[in-house]
Amino acid sequence: MSETPPPRDFDVRGLPWLGLATLALAGAGFVLLADLRGAIAAVVLGVAWYALPAPYAVAVGHLLLVALLPPESGIEAIQVVGLVPVEAGLLGLLATAAPRIDAPARFAVALVVATAVLVGVAALGFLAGGVPGAAAALAVVAGVLGYGLHRYERLRLGLIEAPPSDSRIESGSDTATGPETDPTIES
Amino acid sequence: MRATRRFWGVVLLAALLAGLAVLLERPVLLAGTASLAAWLLAGQYRFFARLAAAEGTTAVDQTLSRERVATGESTAYSLSVSRPDPSPLALSVEAGVPLAATADGESRSIDLDPGQREARLGLTLSWPVAGRFSCSPASVVATDPAGLLVETLSLGSTPSIDVEPRRPRNVHVGEGGEVVSAAFGEHESGRSGTGFDPAELRKYVAGDAASRIDWKATARLAEPYVREYESETERRTALLIDHRAALGEGPSGETKLDYLGHVALAFVGSARQLSDPIGCFAIGEEGLTARHPPAATDESYARIRGTLQDLQPTGGNAGASGNGTAQSGGADTLSGAVEARRNPAAARHMADRLTDDDAFDTTLLPYFRATESYVRRISGDPLFGALRRDIANLNGPVWTVILTDDTRPERLREAVTVARRGDNRVLVFLAPTVLFEPGGLADLEAAYDRYVEFEEFRRSLARNPGVSAFEVAPGDRLDAVLASGRRRREQRRAGRA
């Protein structure tokens, strides 16, 4: 019998050097966006990356983005030159966060494709209904994709149990009737 | 796949960012929502891919050391899990042990850490319940290395086991090792008269009723002839079953009393089939514990069956001697106490220590006293007393069936003498002690000598007119003893040659 496995934690960084590189990329983006304030934000992001699980560090990164960008800027005012490295770096943090990645390239491709799809959906939602429309579109599409993947997995692995066949229900006869009228017993 | 709290934590975080984006009208926060949602989707996909690979390559094998056991026996169970490649999935495999089995260890699962290729689990299962049981497939719980998703798969072989109740098996009823045909069943009276089955034609003699003349035979033979028919009668049977302490000897469920009870039940079944009246008298240490005069009603058959099935050795230290574990372990040990709790006779033996001084004992005593209630206490030998008073008082001829052992040969001889008075026939079924004693076959030659003594006693009983005596024993043990005797004779012959 094997010993009890050590506790697993999803903030264990599977690829720390690559994680540091993506952190540096995000930090550079912050500096490009807001100079000194950006540098401070980069340091805060580094601390968050070190102390928190990667998804929370990414959330902190986006809150820092909100703090750095002027509130009245809107979508047009976003400085693409700074924003792209920040988002790429944050995405990189997520891609390198998973421990013991056996097929990192495949996971990275899946992550990029999923992000592209969801960002595209959010953009369409934004055009149609502003920020609320984008949020709703994101929620619906992400939910449908996640549930679809779940059902597909159960189907592929044969984990979906067939519903119990009840001839009484199928035949529409009264389930309270006695043995003489009970088709399951008669057969 | 099932989402863990961590998964839902990230979902909540993404929802929080989306909510803030709406509240603050900052679309850049939606980028965070999209990133986190995409990360979860990619994680789902990766988990699914690993799971599909693991399902095809992970070998889970469950084995049981035996396919057939008796209740209370144990088997070794092993669970082995192996995978050809070190997978990042953590697996926790729970053994598919049937509910009817009791495992010795607390843990019924093994874990395969990420990267670990194989693991094994060994358990000792005991089987307290009879029946056929199959292991369910092992439950394999796969966990995503990030701890976000969990899935349960059912994998592995499902070995089965037959758990047989402890009861007399291979019941031998015979004489000197030879099996005799059933002593019960349809029976002729040995007399001719009126009936249904034609027996013979004979010449008419004065005094025969005219209605009995066979006119066709008379016309054919030119003389008056009477056709005789086989006269059938109902047989009144009285079972005397001895369930004193000595009858509790033998392994649990295979005691002398169990074997003799088996024969007695066969008599009841036969009597019921033929609608013959049958009675039952159970002989305890101090007298009669059950008394059912011969009757041929469904109720009486059912009552007698119930009595026979409930019989336990009375008094003495039957339980302790009747059970190898209790005897070897001693009643003072914990295992002895547990065994006593499981065996009514042994429990009564333990209850002998109860006194009236203690409140706990005072509460328990009535229950144990109630189990040894006597219909009538008999001074002297209870078997002899029951035959003299209860069987002798029955009207008409009675087939007396005595089921006992060979521990009190002289008393039994006297009892048989009383039973065969008048036209009564007596059947004696004897359980040879040597074939039931724990360790009785350790020395086969000594066992053979004791069996020969038993056989001489049985023959001496059978020599009495109207008395038949049979042995009732486990066939395999008897065969072993007889084989030992044969070997000895062959060796002697070889020595002479």
Res A6 pLDDT > 50: no
pLDDT at site A1: 40
Condensed to tens digits (0 to 9), the pLDDT of residues B69-107 reads 888 888 999 999 998 877 788 889 999 999 888 888 778
Condensed to tens digits (0 to 9), the pLDDT of residues B158-171 reads 999 998 887 777 88
Architecture of the domain whose range is B59-164: Sandwich (2.60)
Predicted structure pTM score? 0.58
pLDDT at site B268: 93
Res A139 pLDDT > 90: yes
Q: Which residues of A touch B49 (CB under 8 A)?
A: 103, 106
Of A146-160, B329-343, B384-398, the poorest mean pLDDT is in: B329-343
Of A76-80, A128-132, B336-340, the poorest mean pLDDT is in: B336-340
pLDDT > 70 fraction of chain A, expressed in percent and rounded: 69
When the pLDDT of each residue in chain B is averaged and rounded to a whole number, the result is: 83
Pick from A131, A156, A159: which is nearest to B27 by CB? A131
Res B9 pLDDT > 90: yes
pLDDT at site B375: 67
pLDDT classification of A167: cutoffs 50, 70, 90:
very low
Res A74 pLDDT > 70: no
Higher pLDDT, B326 or B232: B232
Q: How far is B96 from chain A (nearest CA, A)?
A: 16
- Picking from A68, A138, A151, A155 by the largest number of B CB atoms within 10 A of its own CB, the best residue to mutate is A138
Of A23-32, B14-23, B204-213, B464-473, the poorest mean pLDDT is in: B204-213
Higher pLDDT, B257 or B170: B257
When the pLDDT of each residue in chain A is averaged and rounded to a whole number, the result is: 76
pLDDT > 90 fraction of chain A, expressed in percent and rounded: 32
Q: Nearest chain A Cα to B79, which residue? A: A1
Higher pLDDT, A142 or B315: A142
Q: Which residues of B touch A58 (CB under 8 A)?
A: 32, 35-36
The Cα A8–Cα B144 span in angstroms is: 10
Q: Does CATH place domain B171-187+232-496 in 3.40.50?
A: yes
Res A59 pLDDT > 90: yes
ipTM of the modeled complex? 0.81
Res A13 pLDDT > 50: yes
